[in-house]
Structure 1
Amino acid sequence: MRKVETLTKSDGSTTYRVRFRHGISAKTGKPLQTSESFDRKADADTFAKWLDALGPQGALDRLYAGEQEKGIPTLDQVAADHIRLLTGIEEGTRLGYERLWARSWGHLIGTTRADQLTADIVRQAVNDLAAGKGLTGEAYSTKSLENQRGLLSGVVARCIELGHLTRNPVKGVRLPEGRRVAVDSIDDEDDAEMVCLTHEEWEALYATFSPHYLPFLRFLVGTGCRWGEAVVLRRGDVDLGARTIKIRRALKWSGDGARVIGPPKTKKGRRTIALPAEVVKDLRPLLDGKAGRDLVFTAPRGGMIAHRTFWSKNWRPALWRAQHCAAHIPKDCRCGTGEPHRCKVHSDPPGACGCRGTLAQSPRIHDLRHTHASWLLAAGTPIHVVQARLGHESIQTTVDTYSHLLPDAQLLAAEAASLAFAGRAGGGSWLPRVESLPDDALRHLAHAVSDETARRSPAIAGRVAVDGAA
């Protein structure tokens, strides 16, 4: 064991010193002589034993472990600083991040020291969130889990930046399959699993709404605007002559939890959107007599449309009616009204009946935006045009959100190339290739051929006449 030296100070007190070599001299390249002093001989003897067993660095780490722990923050503390120091976001967004951390990671691993976070701890926390063990007790959807992992990744990056971690324990952790959030439990665009309606499904839903809200609904699905952008649209933002609207503002949360009107979600959210003819027709009577700052869409009694009221009194009842045929809606049933709890026929509103012509899916209001994008992509609209129309800041957001809707378009393109090869070769039949197309792709191809035939009709007619004369 290392020798423990006893030293007497000028005031008569005694200290105990242990000498050892640690580090290398930059000048000579030889080990440096250093020492540690103690007030108690027992502490000096213990440190001497650590030197023999653990070496200089191990002994020092153990000696100062308590002091090191005092200086290392918890994940809650790192997260608070990370969120506070984020730039380029609004206070409402910052408040949302704080709440997201508190109800997810903060509840499960917030007290963990920043230097002790491991991949296993992260995996267990992810599984706990998926199983509904977060602060709210709800089982999160896949998209919500992705949002939570993104926030944790930012906090971990700060831990690495501060030197508390040397590697990212979040990297490579796979997310479990989240649950589909029920339409009657929440209607939050950030926690939604995407539902894209077909034209037939849209018509089934549209037909169940009260006349007052029909223009508003067709505006949402016809423009892809967010709810918060549509409800604050003003008369001055609409140019019916040019068939365009300008998105300049949106309804959002403030830092104190209140609803305020501010700029759109992203810089590219400030945009001009061309309107379909059907939406222009709907807007004309709504704009009559309104001043430039008046809202385009209002509640039946005037004023801004409230999301919660619209959802509970209009969207959810209309959705239930669209999911049930007349034969499955008893005479006295009130499940398809704004007061389903008063229904004396059913204790709980029954699920979709599944009959022909009814709606099988359960979309949320925000799914009208997804439906709009899906219709554009199915019609062959370039994805960068979809990005501009939706106001996504990055095209990567558009690709990540809607890439699964592109395979049919890719198949159509491949078949078009195949038809070109067959035509150039001068042999073979293109009919079997057309017959192999999916119904949606065949429908789009038929529309395209019809439009092109109409455009070329004089030339085609002349060619047919010449061929017939020959």
Structure 2
Amino acid sequence: MASVHPRKNRAGEITSFQVKWRDGGGRDGAWQSETFEDQDSAGVFKTAVDEAGQHWPPGWVKGQGYIAAQPAQPEDRYRFRQYATTMIDNRTGIEERYRKDCHRDLKTYLFPTFGECDVRSVEHFSSDTIDAWIRKLEQTWIWRGPDKKRLSPKTIRNLHGLLSSILERAVLAEPPLRDRNPCKLSNLPRADDQIDDEMCFMTPQEVDGLMRCFSVRQDQLLVTVAYGTGLRFGELTALMPQDITDRNTTKPKLRVQRAWKRDEDGGYFLGPPKTKRARRTIRISSSVLEAFDELGLYELQDEQLLFTGAGGTRLHYSTFGDRWARAVRLAREAGVFTAGKKPTPHDLRHSHVAALISAGHGLPYVQRRVGHESIQTTNDVYGHLLPEADDDAMATIEASLAGGRPSLRSVG
């Protein structure tokens, strides 16, 4: 059952009333809430939640109220909750883990606002109601480990993409259920709006200083390879000797052919990389090759893992993460990092890209090297770093204007 809770300020004065309930009424249902200025309105809304079976009342948009004075009760098959669930259940060509994640996001972020709405309704799903939902997401706080942060622009874009795919299916249905997809009119937060919160770029000197703070040699080598290649942790820890090619030439290469994936039960298995373009071959430097050599490149069997945990099994992110946190703390105490700098293992990938861009390498090259599916992704994530290459660009332009010929850089 929903319940009404008065909310007080620091002086002990009641300032509002909050209605709280678990979605669906079950113990595992996500907590939902709506706030009202007066107790009578809160009581009316509580009754509406109870009548809706501990779901959001049909036609109600969180923080906005009813989007239609007398919202029509949709047929169950056109109710967004049922329509979206069925669509995800029947979607083909996706991994079961992704299907499970979609259901989780629907339940947590979409159903509280749109669950009881009609996918056919231009009142329930319009640019105005979707903009209000996006604005609510921008103001949503979540816990990430010990820190409380707002939803990132990337997460909001992913949630918006999920909603858009469902409404697009309604547009393309036979016969069509909608004339258009209002999600196409949305202005989404840019990926770099919270860049300081989401990324921490390290200089080569900081990476070197951090590496010296690890007590396990394999960890030091992992930092070297991660920073030297820009691979994701799941790709990095799936590497085998057979993936290192042209070892005895001046142009050694690394093939990204697999990555650790999670199944629907939360277990891990080796599968294809994140996307089609993530399956790639990249050049590696002599320092990276030397790190692989020290890891046992020439002694291990072709299908043995280069980075391992206890007993030669998969190296767990949490295991490495604990040692990473200790090394960061030691590096901060040694003055390697400023007090506010809190890099994560994934920031080695970001720092790899920053080093490439600051040296003048363009986004198309970066896209291919790090395995982004589209250059738009690369631009959204790293485009703000391009000014770092201004000096190099200006030197090239000045040489051209002065009649000189700029030297060519080998990036192969």
**TM-score between the two structures when normalised by the length of structure 2:** 0.69
Q: Does residue 1:105 correspond to 2:115, yes or no?
A: no
Separation in structure 2 between the aligned mates of residue 284 and residue 220 of structure 1, nearest angstrom: 15
For 2:382, the equivalent position in structure 1 comes to 402
In the alignment, which residue of structure 1 is the partner of 2:248? 241
Note the alpha carbon deviations across 1:302-344, whole angstroms, 9 max, x for none.
4221112221x2112222222234xxxxxxxxxxxxxxxxxxx
Match of residue 229 from structure 2: 223
Check whether the contact 1:238–1:244 (CA below 8 A) recurs between aligned residues.
yes
* C-alpha distance in 2 between matches for 1:143 and 1:85: 26
The 1:278/1:300 distance shift into structure 2, 3 A limit, reads farther
Distance in 1 separating the partners of 2:107 and 2:333: 40
Aligned with 2:333: secondary structure?
Answer: coil
| Structure 1 partner of 2:307 | 297
| Alpha-carbon distance in structure 2 between the residues aligned to 1:227 and 1:357 | 22
Map of 1:309 onto structure 2? 319
Contact 1:231 1:297 in 2 (8 A): yes
Question: Counterpart of 1:323 in 2: which secondary structure?
Answer: helix
* Alpha-carbon distance in structure 2 between the residues aligned to 1:133 and 1:276: 41
Contact 1:143/1:193 (CA < 8 Å) preserved in 2? no
Corresponding residue number in structure 2 for 1:212: 218
Q: Which residue of 2 aligns with 1:264?
A: 273
- 1:274 is aligned to 2:283: yes
One-letter identity of the residue aligned with 2:348: L
Q: In 2, distance between residues paired with 1:143 and 1:372? A: 20
Q: Which residue of 2 aligns with 1:168?
A: 181
In 2, the alpha carbon distance for the partners of 1:410 and 1:135 equals 38
CA contact under 8 A between 1:103 and 1:135: conserved in structure 2? no
Report 1:339-378 matches (<5 A): 358=338, 360-378=340-358
In structure 1, what residue type is equivalent to 2:248? Answer: G
Name structure 1 gaps, 5 residues minimum. 1-64, 183-191, 326-354, 425-444, 453-470
Which of 79-88 and 131-140 deviates more? 131-140
Q: 1:364, CA displacement in angstroms?
A: 2.0
The alpha-carbon deviation at position 423 of structure 1 amounts to: 5.1
SS in 1 for 2:182: coil
| 8 Å Cα contact 1:249-1:262 kept in structure 2 | yes
Q: What is the Cα deviation at residue 284 of structure 1?
A: 1.2
How far apart, CA to CA, are the structure 2 residues paired with 1:357 and 1:366? Answer: 17
Q: How does 1:70-469 map to 2 (within 5 A)?
A: 70=75, 73-114=78-119, 115=121, 116-132=124-140, 139-162=150-173, 163-175=176-188, 193-210=198-215, 211-239=217-245, 240-242=247-249, 243-287=252-296, 288-299=298-309, 302-311=312-321, 313-325=322-334, 358=338, 360-410=340-390, 412-422=392-402
Which structure is higher in helix share? 1
Change (3 A) 1:402 1:290: same
- Work out the CA distance in 2 between the residues paired with 1:118 and 1:405: 36
* Mapped contact 1:127–1:176 kept (Cα < 8 A): no
Q: Residue 382 and residue 88 in structure 1: after superposition, are their counterparts in 2 closer, same or farther (change >3 A)?
A: farther
Which has the larger Rg?
A: 1
Partner deviation per Cα, 1:281-305 (whole Å, 9 max, x = no partner): 1121211531122111123654221
Could you tell me how far 1:213 is from its partner in structure 2? Answer: 0.6
Q: How much does 1:419 deviate? A: 4.0
| Alpha carbons of structure 1 residues 113 and 357: separation in structure 2 relative to 1, 3 Å | closer
Q: Output the CA distance in 2 between the equivalents of 1:401 and 1:132.
A: 21
Aligned-pair distance for 1:235? 2.1
Q: Normalising by the residue count of structure 1, what TM-score does the alignment of the two structures yield?
A: 0.61
Over 3 Å counting, the alpha-carbon distance change for 1:72 and 1:164 in structure 2 is farther
Separation (CA, whole Å) in 2 of partners of 1:404 and 1:157? 31
List per-residue Cα deviations over 1:344-367 (Å, max 9, x = no partner): xxxxxxxxxxx6764742222222
Q: What's the secondary structure of 1:69's corresponding residue?
A: coil
Deviation at 1:216? 0.9
Task: Answer whether contact 1:196 1:374 (CA < 8 A) is retained.
Answer: yes
Q: Is the 8 A contact 1:108 1:134 kept in 2?
A: no
Measure how far apart 1:138 and its partner are.
Answer: 6.8
Alpha carbons of structure 1 residues 71 and 281: separation in structure 2 relative to 1, 3 Å: closer
| 1:268–1:391 contact (8 Å) kept in structure 2 | yes
Cα deviations by residue, 1:139-190 (Å, 9 ceiling, x for unpaired)? 31222112111111112212333444333333343446899699xxxxxxxx
What is the aligned residue count?
Answer: 325
Q: 1:385 to 1:135 in 2, by over 3 A?
A: closer
Residues 72 and 113, structure 1, Cα contact 8 Å, conserved in 2: no
Question: Do 1:376 and 1:386's aligned partners in 2 also have CA atoms closer than 8 Å?
Answer: yes
Alignment of 1:9-24 (within 5 A): none
